[in-house]
A and B are shown apart, each in its own frame.
Chain A
Amino acid sequence: MEFSFSSSASKIIHSTGFFSLAVGDIVMLGVACVLIYLAIWKKFEPLLLLPIGFGCLLANIPMSLMASTDTGGLLNFFYQGVKHEILPPLIFMGVGALTDFGPLLANPATLLLGAAAQIGVYITLIGAVVLGFNMQEASAIGIIGGADGPTSIFIASKLAPHLLAPIAVAAYSYMSLVPLIQPPIMKLLTTEEERKIKMEQLKPISQTVKIIFPVIVTIVCCLLLPGVTPLLGMLMLGNLFRESGVTARLHETTETHLINIVTILLALAVGSSMTAESFLRVETLKIIVLGLLAFSFATAGGLMFGKLMCKMSGGKVNPLIGSAGVSAVPMAARVSQKVGADTDPTNFLLMHAMGPNVAGVIGSAVAAGVFISLFGDVGGAIDTHAALAPIIGNPEPGMQALATVVEAVKQ
C-alpha cells in the first residue's frame, strides 16, 4: 500500500470526529454542556446530572463508539445494567440503607399521603395519552410524577426503552427543581393558619419493629405486585442491613461505596442513551412539559390529602407535610420544613414530613408495580435465564461446583 502525503493527510482528516459531525451531534453536545453547567454551577442534582451530561457528551462524539447503541463500546456495556434492570434496583438498595422508616412507623397514616401524591402519575398518564402516546409510553412518562429517578428509569427501560433518555433527564431535572416547583403550589393550596399548625412529637419505635418492617413490606407488597420485587425487595434489603444491627459492614458499603459506584454507571449509561436520534424529537418536548405537570399534580395531590387529614384529625396534621409524599427524599421533606418555618420559625415539620416522604418511595414503587402488572411482561422473567445464556453462559456447572464446595465445607 502506497502512502502519499496528500492521501495520508486526507485519510487523517476523514478519520477525525469533526469530519463526521452532524448538526444533531452539535446540538446534543450543546445539551450536554448545558447539563454539565446546571450540575456544576447551579447545583442541580450534580451527583446525577454531571455524569449524565458527560455521558451525553461522550455519546455524541462521532466514531467514539460511546453511545448506548454502539455494540461493544464501553458505555454499551454500562447500558446493559439499565437494559437488564440491574442498576436501578442496586440504587434502591443504597436508598434503603440510607432511609430511616422510623417517622413513618411512628405515624403510619402518613402512608396515605404517599399514596395520594401518586395522583400526579395518573393525571400525567391521561395527559400523555391525550398527546398521542400509547399506554406503555404514557405509563413510563407518568411515573416521573413519582419523583423517583431509579423507578422512572426502571419503568422506562421496561415499558418504553426508546423514551429512556428524555424521561430520565426530565425526572432528575425536576427532582432538582423541587425547591422551586413546590413552594408556590404549597402556598396557593394552604392557608396561613394551616401552615402554622404544630404537630405532636413522634413516638419512639421499637428496634424490633424497625427490623420486622422491611420483611413485612417485602412479603405483602411483592406478593401483591410481583413485578416490583426487584425495586422494593432491594430497597427493603438495604433497610434491613441498616436496622438489623448485625451487618454493619454491608450497611456501610451499601450506603456509601455501592450507591456511589452504581450512580456513576447508571448516570453514564443514561447519558449515553441521549443521542440526537433519541433525544431531538417532538416527544422530548412533550415529556418535559408532562414531567412538570406530573410534579405539580403530585404536590397538589399530597397537599389536598394533607388538608383532608387536617380536617379529620381536628387540626392536628399540618397539610404541608402532604407535599413530601412525592418522594424526592429528602428534598421534598426539607421543602415542607422550610415553607412551614417561613410562616412560623418555631414550627419544626422535618421529622413529620419524613414519614410521607419515605411513604412516597413505597407509593411510587407500588405505582410502578401496578404498571408492570398491567402492561409489563411479569412472566417474562421465566425466560430471562434463556435470554442471558449467550451472555453469561450456562450457570448449571457453576451451581454444581458451588454445591460441591458447600458439601466439602459441611464435611
Chain B
Amino acid sequence: MEASISAALNVSILAMGVIFVVLVILIFTIKLLVKLIPYEAPPAPPARSVSASSPSSGQDDQVAAITATLAAHMGKRPDEFRIVNIQSH
C-alpha cells in the first residue's frame, strides 16, 4: 500500500507539473498572439451628413458634431436616434 501511495504522490506531482507547464506555454502563446494582433475597434458608421440645401447655422453644426460623436460612441447609425434637446451648463 505504501508503495502505491508513494506512486500516487509521484504521479500527482508529475501530472500537476505537466499541467502547469502546458498551460504556461499557452499563456505565453496567447500573450504573444494578443501583442502581434491587437484589437481594432470596428469602423464607426458614417455620421448623417447635414443637407447642403438647408440653411447652415451654428446650431446645425453642433447637432451634426454631437450626432456623429454619439453614433461612434454607441455604435449606432445616426438615424437610429434623435437629439431632442441641447443644454449648456
Contacts and interface: CB of A to CB of B under 8 A. Distances in A.
Contacts of A135: 4, 7-8, 11
A111 B28 CA distance: 11
A11 interface: no
The majority secondary structure among interface residues of chain B is: helix
B66 interface: no
B83 interface: no
Interface range, A side: 35 or more
Interface in B10-41: 11-12, 14-16, 18-20, 22-27, 29-31, 33-34, 37-41
A366 B33 contact: no
Nearest to B36: A209
B33 A129 contact: no
A271 interface: no
Contacts, number: 107
Nearest to A128: B8
A206 B23 contact: no
B20 A129 contact: no
Contacts of A130: 1, 5
B39 A206 contact: yes
6 contacts: A104-B30, A105-B30, A111-B30, A139-B11, A206-B39, A224-B22
A359 interface: yes
Interface string A223-248: 01100000000000000000000000
Given A206-B38, A212-B33, A122 B15 contact: yes
A204 B39 contact: yes
B9 interface: yes
B22 A221 contact: yes
A371 B18 CA distance: 11
A104 B25 CA distance: 14
A366 B23 contact: yes
Contacts of B23: 111-112, 114-115, 359, 362-363, 366
A108 B22 contact: no
Given A126-B5, A370-B15, 6 more contacts: A111-B23, A135-B7, A205-B39, A206-B39, A221-B22, A225-B18
A388 to B, nearest CB: 30
Contacts of A216: 26, 29, 33
Interface in A148-174: none
B18 A366 contact: yes
Interface in A101-120: 104-105, 108-109, 111-112, 114-115, 118-119
A138 B8 contact: yes
Contacts of B19: 115, 118, 363, 366-367, 370
Given A129-B4, A366-B19, A122 B12 contact: yes
Given A122-B16, A203-B39, A205-B34, A220 B11 contact: no
Nearest to A359: B23
A374 interface: yes
Nearest to A119: B16
A121, A206, A225: residue with the most chain B Cβ atoms closer than 10 Å: A206
A112 to B, nearest CB: 6
Nearest to B17: A370
Contacts of B1: 129-130
Nearest to A370: B15
Contacts of B4: 129, 134-135
